[in-house]
C-alpha cells in the first residue's frame, strides 16, 4: 500500500521545485551537460522554447522508438508510477492537442496561454494542475527528447559546448561569422523539419567569435555586438566585439590579483583572435585578382587553425619557431611572420613570471592585509577548498587551470605552470598545487518568473547576480524580483525534507554496499559492519550552505531553522 502524502501548507514559488513523493522525497533535477575547452571558432547560444509541449505531444513516438519502455516501471520510486498516471497523461495530451488546434486555427489567446504556461502549471506544487507523478513522467520524456535533439545536432556537424533544458551552446566550426550564421540557419531548418522536434523552437541569442568555457558560471569570450555589414568591395570591416569575463572562481582570489587574472585570460582570448583577423585580411588582399569569392577552403582553414595553434604556443613560450615559420610561409606567403613570432615569443610566460613576482613582493610588504584581501563577503558561500594562505599560489592555480582549457597548448601550459610553481617553492604534483573549484554548488531547478514566465535553474552559490543583489529575473526585458517570502518558504521545505531523509536514511554495508534488511542484525551477511548512507559531515556541509544563503539574503526564519538543526545534530 502506497503511503499517503499531504502537500506542504506553506507557500511555494510557482515552478520552484518538483516533488516526487512515493516512499520518500525525491527532487527532479534537470540534466546539464558541460564540455570545457577553448573554442576558437564561432559559437552560438540557442534558447530552447516549448520543450515540454513537444515532449507531451511526441511521447507516443518516443515510446515506439524505445520499444514501449518510456512509461515503464520506475525503479527509483518503488512502484509503477507511470502506469498509475497514464490515463491522466493521455487526457492532458488530448487537451494540448486541442489547444494547439484552436491557437493555430482561430488564434485563441486562452489556448495559447495554456501552451505558454503548461510546464509552470505542471511543476508548481501551488498549481491545481500539479501532480508529482505526471511531472516525473513528463520530465522523463523531456530528457529523452533532449538527448535525441543533441544527437541530431551532432549529426548535423555541431559540437556541443553546453546544454540544458533551457539553452544550448554549440560550436559551428566556422571561422567566419557570416558563414556561421548561414550554417546556424540551415541547422535550425533541418531540426525543424524533423517530425520529432516539430514544436521545438531554437532561437539564436548571441554569437561568440572565441569562447573559453569551463562551466556555466566560469567562462570568457569575444561576443559579437553587431551584424557584419556586407559590402560590395573587397574590404573587411572589423566587427564590433565585446570581451566578456564571467569567472566565478576569480571572486575567491585576493582583490589585488583579480584584475591580473581577468587581464591574462582576456589576452589569451583576444591575441589569437586578432592574429586570425590579420592573417585573414592578408589572405584576402593577396589572393588572385580573378577570384570572385572571399571564402576560405577547408584545407586553408585547417592550415590557418594549425598556424593559430603554433602562434599561441609561441605566446605561451614553448613554441617551435622554425616549424611555425615554415607553416606560415606555406599558408600566407608572409616572410615577416617569423619576425613577429620571435618578438612576442614567451609573452605569457614572461608576463606571468613578472606578475607572480609582483604578488609575492606586494604581500610580503603587506602581510597583515593578506587575510582581509583574500576573504570574501559574508554573503558569498565559501567552500572547503578556499585557500587564503598563499595568494601567489592561488593565482597560479587559477590562471593555469583556465589557460589549460585549450587542449592544443595544454602541454605547454603545464610546463609553464611548473616554472611558476618554482617561484613559490611548491612541487608540481603536491596536493596544495592542485586546483579545485573553490565554490560549492546548490541549484534550484525550474524557477519560473511569474511576470515573464522565464524558466531557469538558479545556482544560489555561484550565480554572481544572485550573490550581490536582490534575486531578480535574468531576462533583460524583465528584471522583476522573485517573491522573497515564497523563495524562503521553498528553501525551508527543502531543508525540512533533507533533514527528514537524513534521519530516516538506510544503513549500508561498508564491504558489499548492500542495504541493511534485518533490523536486528549487527553485521551484514558478508561480515561487514553497517554505516549511514549519508555521512554526518556531508549533511552538515549542506546545512551550512543554507545557513550562508539565509544570512546573505536575510531570511530570518530559514536562518533560525537551519541553526536549530545544526545545534540539535
Q: Residue 129: pLDDT band by 50, 70, 90 thresholds?
A: confident
65-93 b/e (C-beta count within 10 Å ≥ 16 → b): eeeeebbeebeebeeebbeebeeebeebb
Average per-residue pLDDT for the chain: 78
pLDDT at 343: 39
Q: Is the pTM of this model over 0.85?
A: no
Name the more confident of 252 and 279: 252
Residue 15 in grid coordinates: 515552478
Give DSSP secondary structure letters for 362-373. Answer: HHHHTGGGHHHH
pLDDT band at 317, cuts 50/70/90?
Answer: low
Alpha-carbon torsion, ordered 125, 127, 129, 131, to 10 deg: 10
Question: At how many degrees (to 10) do helices 556-568 and 484-503 cross?
Answer: 10
pLDDT at 356: 92
Q: 459 in helix, strand or coil?
A: strand
Q: Which residue has the higher pLDDT, 36 or 456?
A: 36
CA distance 389 to 383: 15
Give the model confidence (pLDDT) of 403-428 as tens digits. 999 888 888 888 889 999 999 999 99
pLDDT of residue 306: 63
Average pLDDT over residues 43-66: 91
pLDDT digits (tens, 9 = 90+) for 492-523: 888 998 898 888 888 999 888 888 888 778 88
Whether 70 contacts 144, CB under 8 Å: yes
Predicted local distance difference test score (pLDDT) of residue 301: 58
Give dist(CA 357, CA 422) in Å, integer: 11
Three-state DSSP string of 95-147: HHHHHHHHHHHCCCHHHHHHHHCHHHHHHCCCCCCCCHHHHHHHHHHHHHHHH
Residue pLDDT, tens place only, 56-114:
999 989 888 877 555 554 544 444 566 678 888 899 999 999 999 998 888 888 888 88
The confidence score (pLDDT) of residue 264 equals 93
Quick one: pLDDT at residue 569? 60
Write down the pLDDT at residue 282. Answer: 79
Q: Pick the residue with more confidence: 449 or 395?
A: 395
Does 194 or 86 have the greater pLDDT score?
194
Q: What is the mean pLDDT of residues 255-278?
A: 89
Q: How confident is the model at residue 6 (pLDDT cuts 50, 70, 90)?
A: very low
CB 358 within 8 A of CB 254: no
Q: Give the pLDDT of residue 7.
A: 36
- Supply the pLDDT for residue 344: 42
DSSP annotation of 56: H
Range in 220-234, 282-296, 326-340, 483-497 with the lowest mean pLDDT:
326-340
- Separation of alpha carbons 488 and 550, rounded Å: 8
Residues 202 and 172: their CA atoms lie apart, in Å, by 15
Residue-by-residue DSSP string for 536-562: HHHHHHHHHHHHHHHHHHT-HHHHHHH
Q: Domain limits of the chain?
A: 31-207, 256-285+295-433
Q: How far apart are CA 229 and CA 237, in angstroms?
A: 8
Which 3-state string (H, E, C) describes 232-281? Answer: CCCCCCCCCEEEEEEEHHHHHCCHHHHHHHHHHHHHHHHHHHHHHHHHHH
Which residue has 537551519 as its cell numbers?
562
Of 331, 306, 328, the closest CA to residue 408 belongs to 306
Give the mean model confidence (pLDDT) for residues 545-559: 87
Top mean pLDDT of 84-93, 233-242, 459-468 is at 84-93
Q: Which residue, chain included where needed, has cell 533544458?
A: 165
- For 106-120, b/e burial (b = at least 16 CB within 10 A) is eeeeebeebbebbbb
Distance CA 538, CA 535 (A): 5
Confidence check: pLDDT of 162 > 70: yes
> Between 42 and 332, where is the model more confident?
42
Q: What mean pLDDT do residues 484-499 have?
A: 86
Sign (positive or negative) of CA dihedral 109, 111, 115, 121: positive
Coil, helix or strand for 205? strand
Q: How many CA atoms lie within 13 A of 75 on its CB side?
A: 1
C-alpha cell at 45: 547560444
Highest mean pLDDT among 29-33, 125-129, 187-191: 187-191
Helix axes 347-365, 298-316, angle to 10 degrees: 30
pLDDT at 155 over 90: yes
Span 236-250, average pLDDT: 79
pLDDT for 352-396, tens place per residue? Answer: 999 999 999 888 777 655 445 444 444 454 444 444 568 999 999
Q: Is-contact 516 508, C-beta < 8 A? A: yes
Second CATH level (architecture) for the domain 31-207: Alpha-Beta Complex (3.90)
pLDDT given for residue 238 in this prediction: 56
Amino acid at each position: 500500500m502506497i503511503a499517503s502524502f499531504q502537500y506542504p501548507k506553506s507557500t511555494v514559488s510557482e515552478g520552484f521545485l518538483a516533488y516526487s513523493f512515493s516512499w520518500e522525497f525525491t527532487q527532479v533535477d534537470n540534466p546539464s551537460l558541460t564540455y570545457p575547452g577553448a573554442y576558437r571558432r564561432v559559437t552560438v547560444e540557442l534558447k530552447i522554447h516549448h520543450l515540454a509541449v513537444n515532449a507531451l505531444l511526441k511521447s507516443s513516438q518516443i515510446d515506439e522508438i524505445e520499444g514501449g519502455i518510456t512509461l515503464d516501471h520506475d525503479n527509483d520510486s518503488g512502484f509503477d508510477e507511470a502506469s498509475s498516471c497514464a490515463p491522466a497523461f493521455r487526457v492532458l495530451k488530448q487537451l494540448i492537442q486541442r489547444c494547439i488546434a484552436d491557437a493555430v486555427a482561430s488564434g485563441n489567446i486562452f489556448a495559447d496561454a495554456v501552451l505558454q504556461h503548461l510546464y509552470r502549471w505542471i511543476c508548481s506544487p501551488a498549481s491545481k494542475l500539479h501532480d508529482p507523478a505526471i511531472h516525473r513522467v513528463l520530465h522523463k520524456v523531456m530528457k529523452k527528447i533532449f538527448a535525441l535533439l543533441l544527437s541530431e545536432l551532432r549529426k548535423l556537424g555541431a559540437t556541443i559546448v553546453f546544454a540544458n533544458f533551457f539553452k544550448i551552446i554549440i560550436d559551428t566550426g566556422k571561422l567566419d561569422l557570416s558563414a556561421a550564421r548561414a550554417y546556424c540557419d540551415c541547422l535550425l531548418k533541418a531540426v525543424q523539419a524533423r517530425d520529432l522536434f516539430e514544436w521545438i523552437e531554437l532561437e539564436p541569442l548571441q554569437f561568440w567569435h572565441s569562447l573559453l568555457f569551463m562551466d556555466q558560471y566560469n567562462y570568457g569570450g569575444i561576443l559579437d555586438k553587431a551584424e557584419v555589414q556586407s559590402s560590395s568591395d573587397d574590404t573587411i570591416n572589423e566587427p564590433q566585439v565585446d570581451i566578456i569575463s564571467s569567472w566565478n572562481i576569480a571572486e575567491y582570489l585576493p582583490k589585488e590579483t583579480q584584475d591580473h587574472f581577468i587581464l591574462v585570460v582576456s589576452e589569451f582570448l583576444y591575441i589569437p583572435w586578432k592574429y586570425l583577423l590579420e592573417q585573414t585580411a592578408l589572405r584576402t588582399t593577396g589572393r588572385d585578382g580573378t577570384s570572385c569569392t572571399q571564402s576560405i577552403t577547408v584545407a586553408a582553414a585547417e592550415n590557418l587553425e594549425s598556424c593559430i595553434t603554433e602562434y599561441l604556443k609561441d605566446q605561451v613560450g614553448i613554441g617551435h619557431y622554425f616549424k611555425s615559420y615554415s607553416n606560415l610561409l606555406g599558408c600566407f606567403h608572409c616572410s615577416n611572420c617569423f619576425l613577429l613570432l620571435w618578438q612576442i615569443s614567451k609573452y605569457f610566460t614572461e608576463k606571468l613570471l613578472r606578475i607572480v613576482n609582483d604578488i609575492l613582493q606586494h604581500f610580503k610588504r603587506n602581510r597583515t592585509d593578506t587575510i582581509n584581501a583574500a576573504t570574501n563577503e559574508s554573503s558569498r558561500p565559501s567552500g572547503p577548498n578556499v585557500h587564503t594562505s598563499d595568494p601567489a599560489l592561488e593565482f597560479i592555480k587559477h590562471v593555469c587551470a583556465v589557460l589549460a582549457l585549450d587542449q592544443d597548448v595544454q602541454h605547454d601550459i603545464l610546463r609553464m605552470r611548473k616554472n611558476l610553481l618554482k617561484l613559490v617553492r611548491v612541487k608540481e604534483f603536491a596536493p596544495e598545487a592542485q586546483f579545485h573549484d573553490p565554490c560549492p554548488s546548490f541549484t534550484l531547478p525550474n524557477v519560473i518568473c511569474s511576470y515573464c514566465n522565464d524558466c531557469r535553474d538558479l545556482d544560489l552559490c555561484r550565480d554572481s547576480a544572485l550573490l550581490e543583489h536582490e534575486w531578480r529575473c535574468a531576462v533583460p526585458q524583465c528584471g522583476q524580483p522573485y517573491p522573497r517570502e515564497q523563495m524562503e518558504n521553498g528553501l525551508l521545505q527543502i531543508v525540512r525534507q533533507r533533514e527528514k531523509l537524513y534521519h530516516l536514511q538506510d544503513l549500508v554495508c561498508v564491504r558489499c554496499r548492500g542495504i541493511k534488511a534485518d533490523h536486528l542484525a549487527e553485521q551484514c551477511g558478508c561480515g561487514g559492519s553497517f554505516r549511514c548512507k549519508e555521512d554526518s559531515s556531508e549533511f552538515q556541509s549542506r546545512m551550512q550552505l543554507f545557513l550562508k544563503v539565509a544570512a546573505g539574503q536575510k531570511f530570518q526564519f530559514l536562518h533560525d531553522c537551519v541553526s536549530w538543526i545544526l545545534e540539535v545534530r
